[in-house]
Chain A
Amino acid sequence: MKQELAYWMALAHLPKLTTKLKNELIVKIFYDKKTIIEFFQFDREILKNKYLLNDNEIELLEESKKQLPNYAFMVEDLLEQGYDIIPINSEDYPTTLKNNLKRTYSPPLIYSKGNKQLFKEKSVAIVGSRDASEISLNFTDKIALEASKNFKVVVSGFAKGVDKQALDSSLKYIGQSIIVLPQGIMTFDSGFKKYHKQIVDGNVIVLSTFFPKAPWSVKLAMARNPIIYGLAEEIYVAESSEKGGTWSGVIDGLRKGRKIYVRKPELNEPNANNILIEKGALPVDSLGKLIEPVLYEEQNEDIRFISEPQKNLSNNIIYDLLIHGEYSSKEIIRKLKLEMDSKKLTKMLKEDQEVKTIDGKPIKFTMKSNEDLSLF
């Protein structure tokens, strides 16, 4: 709904409130079958009692209400210039981003220009340093080639080094790319000129989660990293030092339980890839192939790469599956080629705090977090 967009901007760019609080308000509005326009017309009592906002937060909301006409001017300009403004409840909003970042981190509003269909495709992020080595750039090229062969979209951050390589290679192999900006979308003029043809042809979409006029800054570049990780189903790290954007991005990703592939460095390579692998990232070779855990597994042919799930399912691939939908135990076993009894799995999943049980025949499971986000 076009008429809602000024309101969405007002909410999304409300200062001082956390993303989580904003998303919770949105969920509540949705639950109550209200529109965001109606929300902005609620009186203080309703905001206080039903939406549980404190006086300070209500004050901020009142202040932003006054700016609605101003946001209307801005929305008009954005739309006129061919930008898409996508609220979190829109069908166009990338599901992968919502699934990965959940309520706590999903930006309530994103801005884009280009083929929105790319948000719906399978996606690979390739990340790494701005001053990456030749080896890392070659690795990036290979991953991009592989992605384009498999019709996966390459997500990258438009910085020098690995980011740039990821984009260039993706375009070279006539693949598709999502460019995640470290700045407001209206400050990317040179890029829109340069990638005009690719955008017209539907091979590139540019995305920003920041205020449209915000200039590049270190802060925004850092804030952009989780968005890159959030937009990708697979994450490949070409090269990371022990600090900086790539490093903190990977650490953040691991903390959130993401599966992250890190290029296994050659001996004496001056980077921190090995440390990331030690911290739980998965090592891959220069072609992106998983380097499997070694030695004793070779002695026992019966042991599959994926063994019986532990009681504690955190970081488990079952989560990765359940995040995408509802499955019965049998379906899970078949899809993930697990070797275990379906009754045992059912019992285990029923006990799992993170997993939601859906009664029926057969009993199905999904992630609890999905429940929140499907409301959007």
Chain B
Amino acid sequence: MTRKEAEIKLKSIFGFEKFYDEQWKTIDLLLKGNRVLLIEKTGFGKSLCYQFPAIIFEGLTIIFSPLIALMRDQVRSLNEKGIQSRFINSEQSPEENKTVIQEALAGKIKILYIAPERQENQEWIEATRSMKLSMIVIDEAHTISIWGHDFRPSFRRIINLVELLPKGLPVLATTATATKIVEADVQTQIGNNVTTIRGNLMRENFNLFVIEVRSEDEKLIWLAEKLNKIEGNGIIYTGTRINTEVYSNWLNFMNISCIRYNARLEAAERKEIELGLMNNRWKCVVTTNALGMGIDKPDIRFIIHTQIPASPIHYYQEIGRAGRDGKPANIILFFNSTKDDRNIFEDSKLQLAFIEGSRPSIAEYENVITTLKNELLSQTELYKKTNLNKNKINVIKADLIDQKIIKEVNNQGKKKYQYQHNAPPLNSEIFRKLREKKLKELEDMICYVNTKNSRMDYLCSYLGDTNINGLKNCDNTNYNKRIFKGNKEIETKLEEFRESNFPELIIKENNVGISIGVAASYYGDTNVGKTIHKCKYENGGDFPDYLLELTLKAFRKKYGTQKYDYICYIPPTESGELVKNFVIKLGEALKIPITHKLQKTKHTNPQKVFKNIDLKKDNVRNVFKYEQPSEIDNKSIIIFDDIWDSGATIKEVRKLLINLNAKTITSLVIAKTVGGDI
């Protein structure tokens, strides 16, 4: 097919007059059965490079993409053009996915988007035996490289697949963010004489700012003062899930409409927020980096980072979602430039903690290896046997699979982990290298903050652009620096907010999160957390009165108008009378009687010993009794404990009280942990 013929077809189906040269070059190579790596910025029109050949080919084109939201949008738009397209991912019900597979088998589909995790699904693998395949596309291909900023183990299988695909079957890998190292790595992995086409990554329509502050509070104050003055709608990225809650609560408190988003939310709620973002329902969405990849919204007008991301590549990727329509977008990065006594920037601490904490210890790896040598185990069995938490097990098993020490096999319909005969020993050298690389990238990110030159140039040259031409679109070139000046009024508001914003205790029932109580504070890296830790584990004496005041405030704010008959408390395992003494004071202040009749029927271990939720549940299952059950009948009860971690203990007590016919049950704790940081 000549370019001319192709462009006639392009006009009639997609409505565009012409291909860009790089687009046509890519398409031409694919039509001839080649493999191509295409590196182009967001908004270039990468998807046309596979959508067009897909309609020329006789059979099915499969697009592996980690971006669920993007799949949805593209499939809708393709179907509108009369190109039969579907997607398969976890957002659809198994029945819906099954229907799609049937349609693909029947040859009714031209383009099929699929999440890479699906390559582990037997039903899908089974179906691939009889589909008529014409082309394979790997979207966001930087995720296949462990040197990329967002390596995804599930993509490993896609790479294995590509290696095995027959010669002459076209393969396209696309990405907007690949350094030279990642480019080389992806090239090797795709193999078979891949041609790389790289465009320039400049985003002229960005206005880049770095705002230096001297405390975390200053970030909150600046946002409260200025956010409504920034044009349009946008996204605020925070470093942690806690901060998505803190920032969104604070902005709402200041009457700036926003909502928080993070990976812990239910799928339905996440979808709802994504939809709201598309429709500009809020001034901004406050989110972790769980949101963004693949949000196909053309008019995101600002992206603000409250903490520095892990590297310039992460940053380029996250801000890349702004201004896809080519109109101006404000890109702001906060940087807290205070240093601690070890001369470490406050702002890099979170990223440093991620780097240091992201990999389990060698002993934990060996623990998993030894356990799997003896038995074929599922994930649940494995983490019960090893007492490691889910995150660690996930990291360990991905690494062990990667190092060919274990395999993930299907056994009687379940995923199991199988140690391999003749497996090599664990290679920890690679972990050290990855750690060093991450530390270096964090330094590079701080260089972005401190550079005196064009910020866009810095990012593009970091990403391997050779064509740098001194772009003027930042506060180092042609815009005024934004300087934090302070605002007394808002400072007072912030104090007020601090005394009224209390974390809710959420449990899941039938997969729906419901609020069952309140905490006075977060445990994590807070003063409250430190105080509790000192009293509990370092013989620091009774919980001090400021904790009592804070707990009372939290309780009164949310439940002050309700009547209660009793306060019961969780009998201690090791911290002696701390909780009891505290609850007595609490009862006096609230004028609610205390009951001491909630007891344990047998000894339990402290919950913090157990690193995963199943073992925690097992530890407290059926260990509580209430001495005089009739006392509970039709009564309103408060369950008090010092720390809410997994919630397993309080859930167990709730279950007991519900069985004893309690009328209402409210849980109250001093602090709630976030992600098991006790």
Residues of A participating in the B interface, judged by any CB pair closer than 8 Å: 2-3, 5-7, 37, 40-41, 66, 68-70, 72-77, 79-82, 114-115, 186, 189-190, 192-193, 196-197, 199-202, 213
Contact = CB atoms under 8 A, between A and B. Distances in A.
B131 A70 contact: yes
A215 to B, nearest CB: 13
B412 interface: yes
Given A114-B421, A200-B419, A202-B421, A70 B133 contact: yes
A192 to B, nearest CB: 6
Contacts of B416: 193
**Main SS at interface, chain B:** mixed
Interface residues of B, number: 36
B4 interface: no
Contact of B129 (A7, A70, A79, A190): A70
Contacts of A2: 163-164
29 contacts: A3-B163, A37-B166, A41-B168, A68-B169, A69-B136, A69-B166, A69-B169, A70-B131, A73-B125, A73-B129, A76-B160, A76-B161, A80-B157, A81-B408, A81-B410, A81-B418, A82-B420, A114-B421, A115-B422, A192-B376, A193-B411, A193-B416, A196-B376, A197-B373, A199-B421, A200-B373, A200-B419, A202-B421, A202-B422
Contacts of A80: 157, 160, 407-408
B492 interface: no
B421 A200 contact: yes
A190 B412 contact: yes
B374 A74 contact: no
Interface in B238-270: none
A307 to B, nearest CB: 46
A82 B409 CA distance: 8
Contacts, number: 93
B165 interface: yes
Contacts of B131: 70
Interface string B361-401: 00000000000011110000000000000000000000000
B167 interface: yes
A72 B421 contact: no
Given A66-B132, A81-B407, A189-B411, 5 more contacts: A5-B164, A7-B166, A80-B408, A192-B411, A199-B421
A213 B129 CA distance: 11
A210 B512 CA distance: 47
The 6 nearest A-B residue pairs measured at CB: A68-B166, A73-B128, A82-B407, A69-B133, A72-B164, A76-B161
B130 interface: yes
**Main SS at interface, chain A:** helix
B412 A70 contact: no
B410 A76 contact: no
Contacts of A5: 164
A253 to B, nearest CB: 30
A74 B411 contact: no
Contact of A189 (B164, B167, B412): B412
B418 A82 contact: yes
Contacts of A73: 125, 128-129, 161
Interface in B121-170: 125-126, 128-133, 136, 157, 160-161, 163-169
Contacts of B407: 80-82
Given A82-B409, A189-B412, A199-B421, A76 B157 contact: yes
Contacts of A6: 164-166
A192 B161 contact: no
Contacts of B168: 41
Interface string B344-373: 000000000000000000000000000001
Nearest to A66: B132
A40 B169 CA distance: 14
A22 to B, nearest CB: 19
B469 to A, nearest CB: 42
A55 to B, nearest CB: 23
Contacts of A79: 160
